[in-house]
Amino acid sequence: GGEVLSSPTVADGIVYIGGQDKNLYAVDTATGAEVWAFETNDRVTSSPTVADGTVYVGSTDHNLYAVDTDTGAEEWAFETDRMVRSSPTVADGTVYVGSDDGNLYAVDVATGNQEWIFEATGEIGPSPTVVDGTVYVGSDDRNLYAVDANTGTQRWIFNTPRSGNSSP
């Protein structure tokens, strides 16, 4: 299936992992057998996130995908302007993901509709973390951002001496 560049996620006896061959795979943890494969239009370097029967994953084809964990069928796709290397984070009915277009997106988990967009000044490759109504995310503009999870409004910004490529 090609080189694996995403970190695996395990939920309910299934391991989910993306590959260079454009697929998101679901593999049985007990047997190692493929349960299903979901094909995107480019590499899957984002690490999947699983919540409430859906696996969320980004692709370098510019999309965030929501895929049914049982069937591998696409529930929806949300398109950004550049590749999605960031791993999605799900909290309170919203999936948060960064894109190389410099934006942090809040997307409704049920519909795939954008709730809000936050514009950073650099690519957002790291994965966002959500705690107590605040989304924390780093950017290659050397900043750590704290963003209101409900409105997308910046709460504060912290400048680091080097690029913020790790996930908070």
Task: Copy the structure tokens of residue 106.
Answer: 């809040």
pLDDT on residue 160: 81
CA distance 77 to 93: 16
pLDDT on residue 164: 47
For 106-126, the pLDDT digits (tens) are 999 999 999 999 999 889 988
pLDDT on residue 2: 62
Residue 80 class from Cβ within 10 Å (0-12 exposed, 13-18 middle, 19+ buried)?
buried
State phi, psi for 54 to the nearest 5 degrees: -130, 140
Name the pTM for this structure. Answer: 0.93
**Measuring CA to CA, which residue among 56, 153, 168, 44 is closest to residue 110?**
56
Residue 31 class from Cβ within 10 Å (0-12 exposed, 13-18 middle, 19+ buried)?
exposed
Task: Copy the structure tokens of residue 95.
Answer: 């999936």
Check: CB of residue 87 under 8 Å from CB of residue 46.
yes
Check: CB of residue 154 under 8 Å from CB of residue 146.
yes
Contacts of 79 (CB under 8 A, 6+ apart): 62, 63
Q: Is the pLDDT of residue 68 over 50?
A: yes
pLDDT on residue 167: 52
For 75-101, the pLDDT digits (tens) are 999 999 999 999 999 999 999 999 999
Q: What is the mean pLDDT of the segment spanning 126-141? A: 94
3-state SS assignment for residue 86:
coil
**Measuring CA to CA, which residue among 38, 95, 105 is closest to residue 67?**
38
pLDDT on residue 121: 87
For 135-165, the pLDDT digits (tens) are 999 998 899 999 999 999 999 999 987 644 5
For 15-61, the pLDDT digits (tens) are 999 999 999 999 999 999 999 999 999 999 999 999 999 999 999 99
